Chain A
Amino acid sequence: MKVLMTYFKRYRVDVWIALLSVIVLVFATLWQPRLLQVVMNAIIANDQQTVFREGLMLLGLAALGIIGGIVNTIYSARVALGVATDLRADLYAKIQSFAYADVEKFSASNLVVRMTNDINQVQQIVMAGFQQITRIPLLFAGALILALVTMPEQWWVIVLMMVVILLASWIAVKRMTKYFAQTQQNIENVNTVARENLMGIRVVKSFVQEPNEIKKFSTASDALTLVTAKIGYWFAILMPIFFLAANLAVGVAVYLVGQNITTHPGYLAAITSFISYLMQILYAVINGGFLMTFASRAFISLGRIQEVLTTEPSMTYVEGDDAPLKGDISFEHVTFTYPGDDQPTLRDVSFTAPAGAMLGIVGATGSGKTTLAQLIARLYDPDSGVIKVGGVDVRQIPEKALRATVAYVLQRSTLFSGTISGNLKQVSPDAELNHMRWAANVAQASEFIERLPRTYDAPVEERSQNFSGGQKQRLAITRGVIANPEILILDDATSALDARSEKLVQEALDRDLKTTTTVVIAEKIASIIRADQILVMDNGQISGSGTHRDLLKTNRIYQEIYATQKAREEGLK
């Protein structure tokens, strides 16, 4: 709630107008039965003038109500959207300031949900807040007071009505809460079966398991149906009870008026307004109940947003010169554990690679290859040890300088939607067509880009899905080389390329980016066979380092990997 207050302050005027218009609206709603009573009395008294005057007042009140309602809607919307927009912008800026570890901690999809659903919840509750939440207590209190003023003796009728309503709600809500939790679980079960069958439809069909899957789904679905029906039954009983309670209260009140009419003849004209107030109390209670459940959900959302806003980025950069550094890399006794893990992923890793060299990294899945490369790009900081780029501890390099030095191409590094040139210019804003062509040539991408109808201005769809796996990787490499980085990391970035294209990429890198240090992570030994130095990773440690020839002689793990990849028949050269 405190978070919201700071945002409300930015829209102080709108907030005040919204609140004032609520008061106007409530006044109009509550005063109408009152005026009505006066008019009735005037009719009884045959006082035509009063009828006319009060009638006009009534019309004025209606107009006031309409204006109040419209103004309230407009200004509530202004506040709600202002707050939601600002909150969203702040949240996004916060996420962009996060280190990658922070993004992982929340998980990307979770952050997206907070940016979309949770913000939407907050927006709706703010809107409803200025329209309803302020109105309901006012209406409730106002109607209660006016009802008591109208017929003070009948206070206990009102109390009795509310006791019945609250008791019924309490019992129903207690039961329904249990059912709601069950519904959630059941929905998840149903969705799991549906999703699994969608993804595995070929498996289901090829094993001819359709009847069993239908049985499985029906069981899950029937459980959901049953709980839904039960909730429906409870709702079915709740509403009639509410209205019956209110109407019984009206009956009792009118009966009492009748019994005592001789002492309070004025009550005759007050019957209608008293009924109106009773009904308004009822509506206030019902709407209040609905809003409470709604608000509790919104507050959970607000809490989730706040959690992100109050998280400080776990990594900061020093200020300083933006100029790129030289491309030599060194690791000195680096140990690294992923946040949340208890085992280190890298243990005491040390090596050096001179600028301009090609460094290959091989090893089994999970041996720490990617982790090692990510530390060069400072996606994480090590637990202990030092990583140096261009002779400087990466923690002492200003962010811009580090990004200008190191380019990282991921196995699945898709481009963002837009155009090819738009993506390239994001990294290298001054790149002209010639330069783009050069980069695409290096990545063996120019061949297919030039064949596209709009070449470099060709559209890139979401997740680059209008390109094949190999094309995506080539585009990603193009983006990687376009800024002429001092260090280029290819993290399994050529896995979808055929051997021939891969070779051509490497030759082009040798030719056109001579001074660039290339770090190549690969499954295939063929990808790194030409490296100046190959690191063999095993379980977080470097088990061997050297050229292909050296390792083939000395390193058991390297030999094993090689054995699984080399041709069976030796004589087929």
Chain B
Amino acid sequence: MSDLKNAGKYYWHYLKKYWRGFILSTLLIAFSTWCIVIAPTYLGRAVEELTTYLSQWTNPATRAQASLGTFNHTLVIYVLLYVGDAASIFISSLILARVTAYSTGTMRVGLFRKMQRMRVQYFDTHSDGDILARFTSDLDNIFNAMNQALLEILLAVAQFVGLLIVMFNQNTTMAWVTMASTPVALIIAAFVMRKAGKAVNQQQDDIGQLNGYINEQITGQKVLITNGLQADSIKGFSGYNAKVRQSALSGQIWSGILNPLMQGMSLLNTAIVIFFGSWLALNGSMSKGAALALVVVFVNYAQQYYQPIMSLTSLYSMIQLAITGARRVDEVRQQPDEVNPRDGGQLDGIQHELKIDDVYFSYLPGKEILHGITINVHKGEMVALVGPTGSGKTTVMNLLNRFYDVDSGQITFDGTDIRTFDLNVLRENVGIVLQEPQLFTGTIADNIRYGEPTADMARVVDAAKQANIHDFIESLPDGYSTLVSDEQSVFSAGQKQLMSIARTILTNPRLLILDEATSNVDTVTEAKIQAAMDNVIQGRTSFVIAHRLKTILNADKIVVLKDGAIIEQGNHAALLQANGFYAELYRNQMVFE
């Protein structure tokens, strides 16, 4: 139920500005409904006129009076009503198509804007696939539902109401007769839909499991082949496959059966109306022409009567998906934004020192990761963070440009808490090279000037040279105009890393954080990256997260972290002499005879 509420709020937020369009469409739809329900009465009247004409014409006494004038006149109105119907449906469809396209467009951009404002924590705790699915399948479901369901729902409701009004205006008895089977139809529909809902859920669960199995097995095909496990894998597959067959069969049957049932109800209803109508015609007090007209009209109504119910039930699953979709997108919308102080302070590099002062931090409440970290860094110094996986090295980096904020303690630049600086200014001062470089679609030049799109080519080339990647770029047929896309990667991990270093060099950050590349790079390439990193570090205050100790031997300060606390601190020589954790680590990593 709260799903529905959240979804409702979500749609209200994005659709309220289209209220004029909705009102106009609703009016037009009401008009078209009026045309549609009123039209059969004119057809009925035409038939009545024709019957009268025929009987007058057959009787020689009245033949002279017989005229088709009224008949023709009625027919013209009948046709005009349908022209009116078509015109108003056309206009309201246009309006709704526009509303749908533009409102989902706004939703899409809104979601993206939100994404840019959200805290990094959200991205760390949700899989990329899950967030991306909100852009793709969830927004898609919302679009589909609005595109198809909006008009249908309005039409269905309008038609149903219109039909009831017209029927009761025409003939109360016949109206009740037409409606007589409704409770039965509703009970059947509710029953079948409940069954179908359950069966389809089961089916989706089983299909999900089957797909998961297939995905895991085929992605791990190398393991299957090298261990000779193919037959085993087929055996496991058969179980899932058989299960899907069972549950999908009942899912398909229950959800497929509603339509023929309702169609059958509609036929049944027609039969009932004919029965009763002809009984009225034969036994009632009406003239035969009027009675016949009544039957013609109500047969028409009886056939239309279940249309709205049928179209609503066929839209049910689509609407369900759109509600879920809106709930999921709205969930993102409700996430907290990054905290940017109002009138945040300006910052122009670190003049004297950076201080990490007794910092405690936890990603999840109750699971503290950093337990009182204190590091002092003077301007221009290089600090290396060393320690086993999970010791908190990356966490320290996350705090320095406020991807996360400390629980207690503070980080200060020249004595000022970084949380008081303007967030953007802070980040412009802090440059980061990530372990897994991320390039963006565009040219190499675009990627290098990513942080400063206005930079000229001379600066791009200069940055590339400092990053030891210029020669490689020049060797490409298109040079700096070579297109980069993250999927069809013609670049090795090492080359991407060098480009991301060039990207950072170009922005000339005052404080630098380097997360050293580890895997996927052989040691020769690594040496090249190292040389580039050395270039960047020159003359800057820097933090280096080191995985291979060789790279940090000449750091001004080496901080050894273990389980979120500092266990050793000092330069290489001092730490070796201390013969503690660092010395052990160092001896282990190096090649010794």
Contacts and interface: CB of A to CB of B under 8 A. Distances in A.
B285 interface: no
A302 interface: no
Nearest to A315: B225
Contact of A207 (B120, B257, B507): B507
A96 B234 contact: yes
Interface in A113-129: 115-116, 123, 127
Interface in A410-444: 410, 413-414, 416-417, 426-427
Contact of B278 (A55, A399, A569): A55
Interface string B200-223: 000000000001101111111111
Contact of A417 (B75, B214, B216, B592): B216
B264 A213 contact: no
Contacts, number: 426
B244 interface: yes
A392 interface: no
Interface in A531-562: 560-562
B481 interface: no
Given A195-B132, A239-B93, A40 B295 contact: yes
Nearest to A68: B260
B168 interface: no
Interface residues of B, number: 151
A523 B522 contact: yes
Nearest to B300: A272
A484 interface: no
B268 A202 contact: no
Contact of B97 (A39, A42, A217, A233): A233
B267 interface: yes
B132 A198 contact: yes
B97 A108 contact: no
Given A254-B75, A257-B50, A261-B53, A416 B220 contact: yes
Contact of B241 (A85, A222, A235, A468): A85
A55 B280 CA distance: 14
B541 interface: no
A201 B525 contact: no
B451 A25 contact: no
Interface string B400-444: 010100000000000000000000100110111010001011000
A96 B233 contact: yes
Contact of B440 (A48, A196, A463): A196
Q: Which interface class (under 10, 10 to 19, 20 to 34, 35 or more) fits A?
A: 35 or more
Contacts of A100: 221-222, 225
B521 interface: yes
Interface stretch (A290-298, A381-389, A493-501): A493-501
A365 B519 CA distance: 11
Contact of A268 (B47, B108, B219, B244): B47
B11 interface: no
A268 B50 contact: yes
Interface stretch (B82-90, B171-179, B317-325, B358-366): B82-90
A192 interface: yes
B229 A426 contact: yes
A237 B86 CA distance: 9
Interface in A56-74: 58-59, 61-63, 65-66, 68-70, 72-74
Contacts of B440: 196, 200
Given A69-B261, A399-B228, A214 B109 contact: yes
Nearest to A46: B282
- The residue in A97, A111, A404 that gathers the most chain B C-beta atoms within 10 A of its C-beta is A111
Given A115-B214, A229-B97, A560 B524 contact: yes
A78 B245 CA distance: 9
B329 interface: no
Interface stretch (B247-255, B308-316, B348-356, B561-569): B247-255
Nearest to A492: B519
B589 A207 contact: no
Interface in B522-578: 522-527, 550, 553, 576
A379 B90 CA distance: 61
B227 A66 contact: no
Interface stretch (B159-167, B269-277, B455-463, B467-475): B269-277
A77 B288 contact: no
Interface stretch (A2-10, A241-249, A334-342, A447-455): A241-249
User: In terms of DSSP, what is the predominant structure of the interface of chain A?
Assistant: helix
Nearest to A67: B264
Contacts of B453: 212
A254 B82 contact: no
Contacts of A97: 230
B490 interface: no
Interface string B130-148: 0110011000000100010
Contacts of A191: 132, 135-136
Interface stretch (A86-94, A143-151, A155-163, A511-519): A86-94
Contacts of B550: 564-565, 567-568
A70 B260 contact: yes
B483 to A, nearest CB: 12
Interface in A82-110: 82, 84-85, 88-89, 92-93, 95-100, 103, 108-109
Nearest to B263: A69
A469 interface: yes
B383 to A, nearest CB: 18
B238 interface: yes
Contacts of A470: 389
Contacts of B503: 207
A469 B253 contact: no
A182 interface: no
B590 A567 contact: yes
A167 interface: no
A568 B573 CA distance: 12
A364 B525 contact: yes
Interface stretch (B2-10, B16-24, B111-119, B373-381): B111-119
A156 B401 CA distance: 77
A310 interface: no
Contacts of A221: 105, 108-109, 112
B450 interface: yes
Contacts of A69: 257, 259-261, 263-264
Given A201-B120, A205-B403, A232-B97, A44 B591 contact: no
Contacts of B51: 44, 268
Nearest to A97: B230
A427 B229 CA distance: 8
Interface in A257-305: 257-259, 261-262, 265, 268, 271-272, 275
Contacts of B231: 96
Contacts of B219: 108-109, 112
A403 B228 contact: yes
A529 to B, nearest CB: 7
Contact of A197 (B112, B225, B242): B112
A229 B98 contact: yes
Nearest to A25: B260
B267 A225 contact: no
A174 interface: no
Interface string A9-39: 0000000000000000100100010001001
- The residue in A61, A190, A272, A427 that gathers the most chain B C-beta atoms within 10 A of its C-beta is A272
A181 interface: no
22 contacts: A55-B271, A62-B264, A66-B261, A69-B260, A112-B219, A194-B132, A198-B115, A198-B123, A199-B128, A202-B403, A203-B450, A209-B451, A213-B116, A214-B112, A214-B116, A221-B112, A239-B93, A258-B50, A379-B226, A414-B223, A416-B216, A468-B390
Given A209-B450, A228-B100, A275-B43, 15 more contacts: A32-B267, A74-B253, A108-B219, A116-B214, A204-B116, A221-B109, A228-B104, A235-B93, A272-B296, A413-B223, A426-B232, A496-B519, A564-B526, A565-B550, A566-B590
Which 10 A-B residue pairings sit nearest by Cβ, starting from the closest?
Answer: A69-B260, A232-B97, A66-B264, A403-B228, A225-B105, A236-B93, A200-B438, A499-B588, A229-B101, A62-B267
